[in-house]
């Protein structure tokens, strides 16, 4: 390596050296968002949207509405009337399984979640 290469390397090291700007009094807590900025039931809503869109014949017609009530969330699935039978299933087995998944997803976030299929 020549002296010119060493000089260029030293200049780049000095230019990009972040140690000079570090201040021990920097308050790193400012980068953490307050707890109130989370979307309540986001995981449960994502589970409902994913499952219902894959079960339905018309996935574009699926809309999930979230209603928040006293620490609980109700997820209302609006679907095409022709998909209602597929979402409910024989003897309600599909909707029962979906409700189980949503309860688990809600519990992971610390909320009670429930699903209903509406027209």
Over residues 9-65, the pLDDT tens digits come to 666 566 555 555 555 555 444 444 455 556 778 889 999 999 999 999 999 999 999
Select from 1.10.3720.10, 3.30.300.20, 3.40.50.970, 3.40.710.10 the CATH code of 38-118: 3.30.300.20
Backbone φ, ψ for residue 73 (5° rounding): -125, 140
The beta strands (E) that lie in the chain are given as 63-69, 72-78, 112-118
pTM of the model: 0.65
- Per DSSP (E only), the strands in 42-111 are 63-69, 72-78
SS3 state at 82: helix
**Mode of pairing for the β-strands spanning 63-69 and 72-78:** antiparallel
Residue 114, judged by CB atoms within 10 A of its CB (0-12, 13-18, 19+), counts as middle
| Cα dihedral across residues 40, 43, 44, 46: positive or negative | positive
Residue 69 has pLDDT above 60, yes or no: yes
């Amino acid at each position: 390596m020549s002296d010119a290469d060493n000089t260029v390397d030293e200049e780049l090291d000095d230019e990009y050296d972040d140690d000079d700007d570090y201040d021990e009094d920097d308050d790193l807590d400012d980068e953490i968002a307050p707890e109130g900025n989370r979307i309540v039931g986001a995981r449960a809503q994502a589970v409902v949207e994913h499952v219902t869109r894959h079960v339905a014949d018309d996935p574009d017609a699926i809309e999930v509405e979230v209603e928040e009530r006293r620490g609980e969330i109700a997820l209302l699935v609006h679907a095409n009337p022709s998909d209602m039978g597929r979402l409910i299933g024989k003897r309600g087995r599909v909707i029962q399984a979906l409700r189980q998944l949503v309860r688990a997803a809600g519990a992971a976030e610390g909320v009670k979640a429930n699903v209903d299929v509406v027209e």
